[in-house]
């Protein structure tokens, strides 16, 4: 029978924390782990005493726990410019180290993963697999691999909208990390846990972050997610100027691979092309490293699978352009890769182009309706039941040019659609600082589409009159109105495509 006992660790601030010691604690590449009695936190110590005594590791972790910490406000010693609102937001999106341990030996305290990132016995209906799955981390391969996802209940898999939601969350988290000057160095299916039901994700293994110019990376990454330039030069000495080490640029490759897998359920570089017959290892090295070719490269189609029933074109123009930049322009040229902020913006714009599939049996349930002339779900080939597509075009004022407007975005309408501040004002964006109070809503009412004011001061009708809160504007083809008479308020133009 396994023995257990409770011990205390002393933190650097002098406080203590209890943890439960087991005979065979879980071990990772660098650390072994104990839980606190309430299982809210994990207490981790280093496998190798050399790492526990390495002054550079101490300094890096001090910086990560303190001045680079996005889960702490600047006022409380966290990242510069971080508000409490932002700190609270990112606390649920990172398992960020909370404190350092000075005795009985050097270690760290981290929050335990939230319970929704573990499988339960109810995650599958297949007997014999329940015990295997129960308690395992929700690594994305369980959801993106056809071989593994078939063991899960259908509701466990989420749908296209929830996968798009967690893609936004990931891009936002990596953007925040990069803004702080940090790089993860090992973004992969193992270190980003996902919950497709809720549309959320959490980034883990934060203690190995790279602080550029100060603390070099300890790991090169996980197979399938390592940037080609890192893989290609990994045999060179660590101090060779030609050796490419993990950085924010390599994060951008890994993140793009994850997003592609979330949305398309396949790897962007693993296609039918054979790069070497010498060995499987050599073929894999070339396919993911020096000879890597995007399976949807529009020019070089040598690695394109024959059975691609849906592609990046079905994700709309914003994401299609980003994937081309990531896996064609930037695949072997790191400087050409889209930033995490560009991904965040492109994903948010795509969110506003979603349409619900009319087929109740469609596994994706939602799709990007980027062409109103072709209102067909690319996944099940079902045409939407509605006889029209209503789209709102957002236009922002041209500064210094009264009465002139430029395109700022588009929204596909559906019944009971919520409208938030970022749909009303050009200076608002749905990031961690955004207020999420309902501003308006769109409804299909008595055969007509209406835009109901729920909380906008200064909303104007097409004729220029104030629309009081609780009142509505009719959305007819070609009509336009100001969402707000504030100088940052959008002009909204409605277009209706019928067939």
pLDDT in tens, 83-111: 999 999 999 999 999 999 999 999 999 99
Q: Return the pLDDT at 123.
A: 95
Claim to verify: residue 399 and residue 451 sit in the same structural domain: yes
What's residue 465's pLDDT? 97
Cis peptide before 102 (omega within 30 of 0): no
DSSP 359: -
Looking at the chain, the whole-number percentage of residues with pLDDT higher than 70 is 98
Per-residue pLDDT tens digits for 391-431:
999 999 998 777 899 999 999 999 999 999 999 999 999 99
Average pLDDT over residues 148-152: 94
* 381 band by pLDDT with thresholds 50, 70 and 90: very high
377 occurs within a structural domain = no
The answer as to whether 105 is a domain residue is: yes
CATH number of the domain within which 414 lies? 2.60.200.20
Residues sharing a CB contact under 8 Å with residue 18, sequence separation 6 or more, in sequence order: 6, 7, 8, 9, 36, 37
Do 75 and 212 share a domain, yes or no?
no
Domain of residue 221, residue span? 121-351
Q: What is the pLDDT of residue 2?
A: 63
Rounded distance, CA 98 to CA 100, Å? 7
Q: Is residue 369 domain-resident?
A: no
What is the model's pTM?
A: 0.95
Residue 279 sits in the same domain as residue 162: yes
Do both 393 and 416 map to the same domain?
yes
**Residues 43, 24 share a domain:** yes
Going edge to edge, which strands form the sheet with 417-419?
Answer: 417-419, 440-445, 448-453, 472-474
CA distance 182 to 177: 5
Same domain, 85 and 168: no
Number of structural domains in the chain: 3
pLDDT tens by residue, 211-243: 866 766 767 889 999 999 999 999 999 889 999
Q: Is 372 inside a domain boundary?
A: no
pLDDT exceeds cutoff 70 at 18: yes
Residues 423, 340 share a domain: no
């Amino acid at each position: 029978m396994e023995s257990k006992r409770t011990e205390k660790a002393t933190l650097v601030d002098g406080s203590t924390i209890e943890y439960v010691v087991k005979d065979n604690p879980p071990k990772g590449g660098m650390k072994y782990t104990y839980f606190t009695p309430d299982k809210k936190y994990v207490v981790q110590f280093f496998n190798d005493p050399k790492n526990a005594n390495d002054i550079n590791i101490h300094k890096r972790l001090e910086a990560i726990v303190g001045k680079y910490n996005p889960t702490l406000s600047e006022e409380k010693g966290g990242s510069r410019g971080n508000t409490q609102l932002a700190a609270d937001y990112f606390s649920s999106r990172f398992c960020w180290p909370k404190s350092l341990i000075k005795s009985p030996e050097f270690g760290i305290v981290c929050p335990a993963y939230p319970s929704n990132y573990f499988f339960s016995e109810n995650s599958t209906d297949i007997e014999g697999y329940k015990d295997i799955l129960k308690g395992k981390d929700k690594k994305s391969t369980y959801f993106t691999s056809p071989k593994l996802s078939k063991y899960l209940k259908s509701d466990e898999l989420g749908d296209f909208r929830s996968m798009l939601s967690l893609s936004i969350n990931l891009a936002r988290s990596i953007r925040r990390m990069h803004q702080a000057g940090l790089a993860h160095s090992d973004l992969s299916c193992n270190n980003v846990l996902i919950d497709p039901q809720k549309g959320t994700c959490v980034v883990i293994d934060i203690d190995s972050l790279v602080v550029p110019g100060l603390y070099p990376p300890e790991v090169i990454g996980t197979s399938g997610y390592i940037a080609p330039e890192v893989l290609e030069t990994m045999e060179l000495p660590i101090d060779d100027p030609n050796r490419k080490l993990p950085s924010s640029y390599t994060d951008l490759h890994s993140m793009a691979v994850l997003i592609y897998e979330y949305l398309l359920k396949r790897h962007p570089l693993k296609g039918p092309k054979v790069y070497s017959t010498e060995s499987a290892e050599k073929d894999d090295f070339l396919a993911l490293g020096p000879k890597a070719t995007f399976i949807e490269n529009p020019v070089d189609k040598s690695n394109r699978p024959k059975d691609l029933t849906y592609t990046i074109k079905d994700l709309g123009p914003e994401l299609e352009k980003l994937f081309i930049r990531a896996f064609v322009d930037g695949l072997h040229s790191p400087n050409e890769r889209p930033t995490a902020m560009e991904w965040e913006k492109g994903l948010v714009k795509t969110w506003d182009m979603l349409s619900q599939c009319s087929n109740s049996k469609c596994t994706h349930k939602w799709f990007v309706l980027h062409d109103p002339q072709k209102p067909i779900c690319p996944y099940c080939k079902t045409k939407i039941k509605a006889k029209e597509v209503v789209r709102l075009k957002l236009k922002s004022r041209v500064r210094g040019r009264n009465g002139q407007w430029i395109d700022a975005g588009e929204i596909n309408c559906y019944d009971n659609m919520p409208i938030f501040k970022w749909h009303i004002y050009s200076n608002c964006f749905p990031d961690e600082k955004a207020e999420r109070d309902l501003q308006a809503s769109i409804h299909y009412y008595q055969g007509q589409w209406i835009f109901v004011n729920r909380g906008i001061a200064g909303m104007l009708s097409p004729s220029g009159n104030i629309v009081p809160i609780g009142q509505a504007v009719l959305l007819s083809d070609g009509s336009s109105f100001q969402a707000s008479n504030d100088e940052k308020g959008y002009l909204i133009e409605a277009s209706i495509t019928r067939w």
